[in-house]
Amino acid sequence: MRLSIITLLCVLVNLATECVQAAVSMPDTSKMNILFINIEDCNASALGCYGNPICKTPNLDKFCASGIRFDAAYVQAIACNPSRSSFLTGLRPRTTGIISNGHVMDKNLPPGTATLPEVLKSGGFHLTDIGKLFHKIDYAEKRYAAFDRLEFYQKPSGWTGPEPMLKFPPVKTHERDPKPKDEKSREYREWKARHSDRFGDSGLEYEEHGDYRMAATAVAVLKDYAKTGRRFFLSVSQSRPHTPLTAPKKFLDMYNPAKIPEPQAPVSSLKNFPYMKRATGGNPDIFMKQQPTPTQVQEAIAAYYACCSMVDANIGMMLDVMEETGLAKNTIVVFLGDHGFHLGDHGFWSKYSMLAATHRAPLVIRVPGAPGNGKACSGIVEFVDFIPTLCELAGVKPLSVQEGISFAPLFADPSRPWKKAAFITEGDSEDGDGVRTPKFSYMEFRKCELPAALFDLTKDPWETVNVVDDPLYANARTEMAALLKEGWKAALPDNPR
C-alpha cells in the first residue's frame, strides 16, 4: 500500500512539474498584437503547406515552419456567412440562428452577443479591417462600426474613420455586363452565376488584383503600426481561391493542367450516398449546369492552385514586412480559410456539404516564442474556439457566453490529447447536423432522401460508402448518434489545462 501511495504521489508531482514547465515555457502574450489573415473557400488538402505535392505555397511553407499547423481544424458550418458568424461570435450555428448565407447576422444573434473585434476593442486593441471579415456590411453594420480603420469594404452609416491608406490606379476592364443593383432580382442571380462560373486567366496584371491591393494596403498599415506602437488587431481578407477561379497569367503558368491527377472519390465509388443528386448534376458557383469534362476538371484544379499561389505571394508580402519592422516578435499571426472547397471529389465543386472537403479548413497560427512552433497538431480543434483562444492569449475577457474552449495549451504542446469530436451544421438544402471523430463521420438530415449517413474514416477516409445500415456498424451508429445528440460538451478534452 505504501509503495502504491508513493508511486501515485510521484505521478502527481511529475504531472504538476510538467504543467509548471509548460506554463513557464510559454511567452507572455498579454501585450501582443494579432494579425488575422482569412481567405475564402480554401481546401486544406490543396495547399502545398499541407502536403500537396503540386500546389506551390513557399511563403506558407515557411510560415508553417515557424508556427503550428493544425491538421484537424474544422469549421462549424458549410458556407461563408454561417461559418464566419460562428467563429466570430464563439457560438455554434444552431445558437446563432445563422445556418445559411441568406440569414442576416444582426437580426438572429442572441441578445448581448459580442463578436471578436468588439471583444478585442474592449481590451484596448486598435482595430483595422481590410476586406471581408463578416459576410456583408448590412449583416453586421454594428460590428464593423467597432473598427478604427476600414479598407476595401463598405462603411457603416455615420462612418467617420480615416481615408484609405493607399490609392491605386483604376483597373483596366472590358466590363460590358454591369452588376444589377437589386441583389434579390433574377437578373442579379443570373449575373452572379455568369461571373462565378469561370476559371483561367483573369486578364489582369498581378498588381491590378484586389487581393494584391488588399495585401499591399496591409503592408502599409503594418508599417504604420510599427511606427506608432499601438497594439493592434488587423484583419486582412483574400477573396481567392473563392470562385471565379481566375488568376493572373504568371500564376497560371506555374501549372500544367495535363499533369493534374483525377480527383479522389469518383462518383462510381459512391454507395448509399446522401448527396447523390448533386454528385451527378450541377454544382453551386462553378460547373453549375452540368459536370465538367475531364479536361475541364484538370484546368479548373490548375486554376485553383494558381489562385492559391497568388494568395501565398500576397501573404508573403505581409510576413516579410513583419520581419522587416520587428512586428514578428510581438504579433500573433493567424492564417485560416473560412471553410473548405470540393475540387471534383464526389463529383462536387464548391462547398455546401458536411463532407471533409468542406468541414476541414486550413489553420496555421504562430505565437512568437511558443514551444510548439514548427510542429503540426493532429488533435481536433474547432473554429468556434477562436474567441476563447485569442482572448486567453491577449489577456482579454470574452464579453458574452461562449460555446468553444481555448486551445491555447496546444501552443505549448501540440501533441497533447484534445477534443474527441468536431460538430457541423448544414442549413441549406439538406438541413442537417454532423459530428466527426478520428474514426467516424456521422450525419443526420431533415430534408434528404437518406435520414442519416455513417462513414468509417479508417477504411474510407474519402467518405464514399455509407455504412449507416450495415449491421457490423450498429454499435458505431448508436455511439455517434448519441454523441451528436449530446453535443459539443461531451467531446471536450479530459484535461484541458
Range from 229-233, 287-291, 407-411 carrying the lowest mean pLDDT: 287-291
What's the rounded mean pLDDT across residues 322-349? 98
In this predicted structure, the answer to whether residue 471 has a pLDDT above a threshold of 50 is yes
Locate the domains of the chain by residue range: 27-420
pLDDT per position as a tens digit, 373-388? 999 999 999 999 999 9
Under DSSP, the state recorded for 412 is T
Question: Can you tell me which residue has the cell 462549424?
Answer: 76
> How many Cβ atoms from other residues are within 10 Å of residue 172's Cβ?
10
| Pairing verdict, β 199-201 and 73-74 | unpaired
What H or E segment, with its residue span, contains residue 485? helix 474-486
What H or E segment, with its residue span, contains residue 477? helix 474-486
The pLDDT of residue 173: 65
pLDDT band at 24; cut points 50, 70, 90:
very low
In this predicted structure, the answer to whether residue 306 has a pLDDT above a threshold of 70 is yes
What's the rounded mean pLDDT across residues 190-204? 90
pLDDT per position as a tens digit, 154-188? 999 999 999 999 999 998 765 567 788 887 788 88
Of residues 210, 292, 201, 259, the one with CA closest to residue 54: 259
pTM value is 0.93
pLDDT band at 440; cut points 50, 70, 90:
very high
**CA distance readout (Å), 104 to 34, 142, 284, 461, 490:** 27, 12, 21, 35, 30
The C-alpha atoms of residue 473 and residue 192 are separated, in whole angstroms, by: 44
What's the rounded mean pLDDT across residues 412-421? 97
Higher pLDDT: 478 or 194? It is 478
The C-alpha atoms of residue 4 and residue 17 are separated, in whole angstroms, by: 20
| The three grid cell numbers given for residue 398, joined into one nine-digit string | 470574452
pLDDT band at 269; cut points 50, 70, 90:
very high
pLDDT band at 11; cut points 50, 70, 90:
very low
What H or E segment, with its residue span, contains residue 451? none
Query: Where do the H-state alpha helices sit in 51-185?
Result: 58-66, 80-87, 93-96, 105-108, 116-122, 141-144
The C-alpha atoms of residue 36 and residue 335 are separated, in whole angstroms, by: 6
In this predicted structure, the answer to whether residue 405 has a pLDDT above a threshold of 80 is yes
The pLDDT of residue 20: 43
Distance of CA 300 to the CA centre of its chain: 21
Q: Torsion angle of alpha carbons 441, 276, 77, 412, nearest 10°?
A: 40
- What is the homologous superfamily of the domain 27-420 according to CATH? Alkaline Phosphatase, subunit A (3.40.720.10)
Residue at 374: amino acid letter: G
pLDDT per position as a tens digit, 34-56? 999 999 999 999 999 999 999 99
The pLDDT of residue 385: 98
